[in-house]
Chain A
Amino acid sequence: MHSSSPQVSATPLQRSARPVEDFHPASARWIRRVLYGVAGMFAALVVLILWFVIARPVQVLPRISQAPAFMLTDQDGRWVSDADLRGSILLINFAHTRCGERCAAMERSLLTVVDSLRADGRLGTQVRLATITVDADGDTPDVLRAYAARLNVAAPEWIFLTGSARELKQLIGGEYGVYYRVNGETVDLVDQRVVLVDETGLLRAEYDGARLDPAIILRDIGLVEQEANSSDAARPIYEAAHIFVCYPR
């Protein structure tokens, strides 16, 4: 650009001394202030997100998937579908009445959960339990009713469901992925599984039935209740907790 006017070979000093019409020190200061403001807001946002993710002030349970649909018979011989059980949090386990000592730990833990929920008055209304049997031939509604009586639980709070062997295999094996073998009289429940379904029919948690901790189940039921009962204003915060996978540790 100097080639066109070789006679003006200005030094940097001379150039800076040239008058500049549109220079306003105030606007430069203003731009600098905006820059600092943006940088500060950015840093504050990063700190806020880090705090939200690390301290987890809001915890949620993952929305694993839609819980599988079913239509089975309960211990009183009534048809019960998954849709009939919407509206309350559902704790489902897969077992059979002749399981005996192998399933005793799972049974004990569930009874502990039941006792605690019953003491709070939440059982049967907010939270219900369902046992789906893997033994279609052995566990008829009559057998299940006797079993429920032995555990001292009744229909609205804890239901026991049975169906045909094929239905049960498709539901428990195919949909829930719980492995069991039925060989005539012998039933081998290889996987002991307990699942938590929320009031809208979404699968929220899966537990190993053999190593069930009643405290963790009660905590998770509490988290699902808390989220379900949250106000509209708190919804975005719960959604943020889902996005940032703020699951309980």
Chain B
Amino acid sequence: MNRKYLGYLFEVAWILPSVAVPIAFLVAIVITAFAVGIAVPGEAGRIDPKALNTTAPFDQPGLRELAPGRYEAVVIAQLFNFSPGEIEIPAGSKVTFIVTSRDVIHGYKIEKSPINMMVIPGQISRMTTTFDTPGEYYIYCHEYCGAGHHLMVGKLIVKPAQTASTNR
């Protein structure tokens, strides 16, 4: 026991917590996953992926005009496409994307927009944005989902505001 031992104690004082903290996190995750069951908080974000065909709003996937200039796109991601695959809106529209997966984990990314979501079976992903610039935007699945992952592409068409049709 000497001065070096005191130094050793101070080192231990830093090293032990840096080991203990990740272990505590791991224990917390394991307990919440197996003893409690991790789930999205609240019921609004959860869905039974096997019952999509009978659960609103996914029983009728598609674009819905909630109010003038305000849309809601209900999308199901599945191997290897999006339903609906093509969405058409007038420029200046504010669109909420409500997306869930029927099978495995997918992604939902619209190019040149902030829409970038993970799509997890059993959970509902929501994101809202406004599309001001007319054009065609690709929608990608950007979470590897299987052999046809590279074919999983959709399209968002933003039409100039005047000629836009408000179909569906």
Contacts and interface: CB of A to CB of B under 8 A. Distances in A.
B168 to A, nearest CB: 11
B44 A177 contact: no
Contact of A173 (B16, B44, B70): B70
A31 B13 CA distance: 9
Interface stretch (A1-9, A15-23, A109-117): A15-23
Interface string A41-60: 01100100110011000000
A30 B64 CA distance: 69
Given A39-B20, A50-B31, A179 B1 contact: no
Nearest to B55: A208
Contacts, number: 77
A179 B72 contact: yes
B64 to A, nearest CB: 5
Contacts of B31: 50, 54
A34 B70 CA distance: 60
Contacts of A25: 1
A171 B20 CA distance: 52
B3 A22 contact: yes
A96 interface: no
A35 interface: yes
Contact of B66 (A23, A50, A179): A179
A62 interface: yes
Contacts of A191: 56-57
Contacts of B148: none
Nearest to A178: B66
B96 interface: yes
Contact of B6 (A31, A49, A53, A190): A31
B56 A247 contact: no
> Interface residues of B toward A: which range?
20 to 34
B147 interface: no
A35 B70 contact: no
Contacts of A225: none
A28 B67 contact: no
B67 A170 contact: yes
B125 to A, nearest CB: 15
Interface stretch (B35-43, B84-92, B115-123, B136-144): B35-43
Contacts of B28: 46, 49-50
Contacts of B151: none
Contact of B17 (A42, A177, A206, A245): A42
Interface string B74-111: 00000000000000000000001000000000000000
Given A28-B1, A35-B9, A42-B17, A54 B32 contact: yes
Instruction: Give the interface centre of A39, A62, A179, A210 by most chain B CB atoms within 10 Å.
Output: A179
A191 B149 CA distance: 33
B6 A27 contact: yes
A174 B35 contact: no
A216 to B, nearest CB: 9
Contacts of B24: 42-43, 46
A112 B135 CA distance: 51
Contacts of A245: 41-42
A170 B13 CA distance: 60
Nearest to A177: B66
A23 B1 contact: yes
A177 B32 contact: no
Given A62-B41, A177-B96, A32 B9 contact: yes
A169 interface: yes
Contacts of B163: none
Instruction: Give the interface centre of B27, B66, B72 by most chain A CB atoms within 10 Å.
Output: B66
8 contacts: A49-B28, A50-B28, A54-B31, A170-B68, A174-B66, A179-B66, A208-B56, A210-B56
